[in-house]
Amino acid sequence: MKTRFKLKHNIRKGDTVVVISGDDKDVTKPRLVKEVLVDESKVIVEGVNIISKHTKPSAQNTKGGILKKEAPIHISNIKLWDGKQGTKVKKEKRDGKTVRVSKKSGEVIK
């Protein structure tokens, strides 16, 4: 996505999130973010959007076959997990540092 300004997202690698739309929707089951693709506004979440990739035999993969792997989903389809529920996030200055704060509970997200 070519834009003039770089978009800022509140989701980081290693965060726990819930999927709020799509085939893998489950707002009660937190999952781990494996990778954030900032330029495309997408994330790869563990166990979500599994695809089958057919591969030919090669020097590195002598068997070939069908591989199962996670495909990216749009960042708008997830919410950050604050320990109890999925929530939106706001940024605040506390003790001279910018921290992410849950809008529902008001707790700091680590």
pLDDT digits (tens, 9 = 90+) for 20-69: 999 999 999 999 999 999 989 999 999 999 999 999 999 998 999 999 99
Query: What is the dihedral sign for C-alpha 50, 14, 20, 44?
Result: negative
Within the chain, residue ranges assigned H as helices are none
Residues whose CB is less than 8 angstroms from the CB of residue 11 and which lie 6 or more positions away in sequence, other chains included: 17, 33, 36, 43, 75, 78, 80
Predicted confidence at residue 6, as pLDDT, reads 78
Residue 1 confidence (pLDDT) above 60: no
Average pLDDT in the chain: 93
Predicted confidence at residue 2, as pLDDT, reads 64
Predicted confidence at residue 5, as pLDDT, reads 81
CA distances from 32 to 21, 78, 101 (A): 16, 11, 19
Q: How far apart are CA 77 and CA 28, in angstroms?
A: 14
